[in-house]
Every structure is written in structure tokens, then in C-alpha cells.
Amino acid sequence: MIDVSTPPATGPQAQKRGGRRVYRPNTKHIPVLATLALLVVMYSIGVYNYESFGDTQVFLNIFVDNAFLLVVAVGMTFVILTGGIDLSVGAVIALTTTVAATLLAAGWPAGVVLPLVLLIGTVMGLGMGAVIHFFKVEPFIATLAGMFLARGLALLIDRNSIPITNDFWTQMAQKRFRFDDGVFISLNVVIAAIVVLIAAIVLAWTRFGRNVYAIGGNADSALLMGLPVGRTRIAVYTLSGFCASLGGVLYSFYTSSGYSLHGQGLELDAIAAVVIGGVLLTGGSGYVLGTVLGVMVLGLIQTIITFQGDLNSWWTRIVVGVLLFAFIVLQRLVTRKAK
């Protein structure tokens, strides 16, 4: 007699052991699950060791303080999924904030400045993507050149910090969505959440998203299948440039200033968040949700160090470095096992 009470399971997730079917998680989900487990452990340690760590606002502050990083990391996710890298995002943030602050101080209306600075980052991303595709330049070199260009332009415009006092900018910076007394999120968090939602939908349910995964898996095979490899690569760098400039706008809301030295090292934070979130550096595997978790891990590390009080802020870099090594090794083990 055939037992039909449980439908037969097939594929790598189902194995028989002792007459019972054992279900294993998809290997692609393991890095994301590891990040989630790490996040839960870190948060539990914080709640156990520090008074008020479990307050709702402390948790929400992780997003309030890192909304701009989350937006930049979403753009970086698309780039890394294709097997590329974008080193220019931190410098684009500096250029965006400097241009915005300079034009606003000169009396330009915010309705003109906002789309203009978003266009600057988008055009820079488009240019780097075109150089990478048409001239077969390695993404590392092309985006490194973009980083020097953006940072140099920002320094050329003004080397000093420029305060932003424009009424629209001030209102956006002070906008709060309150849930209870002393419990709120900023406008930056809402914008970041919208960006994450759109990115997740694009990757999961659009042809462009499938092309991104296919190119990261094997660009040559994707080309033989007739997929628009060049157009997709250019598009992901354009998207990354837009996210970097949008992140720059959110950063200017957060700091109420423009400065040519803003965003130093932020490209490394974005890459770290993406990798810790489970996106393979070689491309082809990963999720936007993992990137969100990666940003939360970075934010939680900063929060724990702040609560500790007697640790230097550079401990954040040390811990992130250790986590990066750990997750890169995990990625290697998972991909090797999958093969």
C-alpha cells in the first residue's frame, strides 16, 4: 500500500533517514538564516546586559540612524548580485550633500535642487555602467575612478561643512511618524522602507530581477540565452548611482549639512551589510531581506558599543571585520556543498 498522507518531496531539501523524510533548508537560505540568528543572539545579549536596551525606541533608532545606509545598500545589492562592485557610493553621497547645500544656500528652490542632485548620482552610475560594459573595464577600476571623480568634485565645490537651513529640508529632517509617547520613526525610515519594498518586488517578480540573478550566476550563459546582459549591467550601476544620491539626500536630512568628506568609508559599510546579509560576492544569490538584516547587524553593533560606554568606536570596525571573514567562509562552505 502506498502512503499518500504526505506528498512526496523531491530535490535537495528532502532526504530519507530511518524511513522518515527529513527536510533541510535550501542552501541559498542558509546565509540569511545565519544573519537572522546572529541578530537575535546579539539583541538578546544587549537586552540581558543593558538596562533600557529592550525599549522600542532603541530598536527603532537602528533604522533612524541607518536609513541612508540601507538605501545605499539596496543599490549595492543589485550590483553585487551581478557579480560587480561599486566603490563610488560614499563619494556620491558627499557630492550630493555638497551640491544640495551649496545650491540651497545660494537661494535655489528645493523643488529644483532635489531632482537635480538625484540626477547627478544617476548619471554618474550610468556613466560607470557604460564604461564597464562598452570598454570591458573591471567594475573595481571603473567605480574607483568614479569615487575619485565624485569626491574631487565635492572638494572643488567647497571644502568646508555647509549648514542647510532651507525650510523644506528642515521640515523633512524634523518629520516624525509617532506610534506612542516617545516612540517614533523619521521620514528617512519611511523612504528607506519604500525603497526596500520596491527592490524586493523587482528582484522577485520582474524580468529585470531574473536577469540580474542570471547574469550573476553565469554571464556567458545568460548571453547565450539571449538575455540583455549589457543593458542589465548598465541598469544596475545606474540604479546604484540613484540609490547613492538618494542616500545622500537622506544623509543631508539626517545631518542638516553638506560636506565634501561625508560618506567616507560608507561604500565599505554598504558592501559589508550586503555580504553579512548573505549575498554572494560572486553574484547570483541573495535577497534584499538579507541586506536589511545586514544593516540591522551593523546598527546593532554600534548600539551595543554605545551602551557599553567604555569602548572605542573603532571596535565597530573590528567586529564587522570578524563578521565579514566569518560570512565569507560560510558562503564558501555553502557554495562548495551546493556543487
pLDDT exceeds cutoff 50 at 7: no
Instruction: Report pLDDT for 30.
Output: 86
Are residues 263 and 91 in contact, defined by beta-carbon separation less than 8 angstroms? yes
pLDDT tens figures, 59-96:
999 999 999 999 999 999 999 999 999 999 999 999 99
Domain boundaries, the chain: 27-331
What is the topology classification, in CATH, of domain 27-331?
ABC transporter involved in vitamin B12 uptake, BtuC (1.10.3470)
Q: For position 42, what pLDDT does the model report?
A: 93
245-257 pLDDT, tens digit per residue, is 999 999 999 999 9
Q: Average pLDDT in the 279-296 region?
A: 94
Over residues 299-313, the mean pLDDT reads 87
11: cell is: 530535490
pLDDT above 80 (res 179): yes
C-alpha distances out from residue 197 to 136, 213, 244, 249, 283, Å: 32, 18, 17, 19, 21
pLDDT-derived band at 27, boundaries 50, 70, 90: confident
| C-alpha dist (Å) from residue 179 to 57, 175, 196 | 10, 13, 21
Average pLDDT (291-297) is 96
| Residue 145, pLDDT above cutoff 90 | yes
Q: Give me the pLDDT at residue 182, please.
A: 87
Among candidates 212, 236, 337, 223, which has minimal Cα distance to 284?
212
Least trusted range by pLDDT, from 4-8, 32-36, 50-54, 125-129: 4-8
Indicate the pLDDT class of residue 327, thresholds 50, 70 and 90. Answer: confident
Residue 191: pLDDT over 80: yes
Q: What is each CA distance from 96 to 77, 122, 247, 252, in whole angstroms? A: 21, 11, 9, 9
**Grid cell at residue 281:** 560576492
Burial code of 50-68, b = ≥16 C-beta within 10 A, e = fewer? beebeeeebbbbbbbbbbb
For residue 194, what pLDDT is reported? 98
- What is the enclosing helix (H) or strand (E) of 162? strand 162-163
At residue 165, φ and ψ (nearest 5 deg) are: -120, 10
The mean pLDDT of the chain is 91
- DSSP β-bridge partners for residue 15: 22
Q: How many percent of the chain have pLDDT more than 70?
A: 92
pLDDT of 330 reads 82
The pLDDT confidence band at residue 150, using thresholds 50, 70 and 90, is very high
Write the DSSP assignment of 260-283 as a string of letters: TTTTTTHHHHHHHHHHHTT--TTS
Confidence of residue 132 (pLDDT cuts 50, 70, 90): very high
Give pLDDT, residue 339: 57
pTM: 0.91
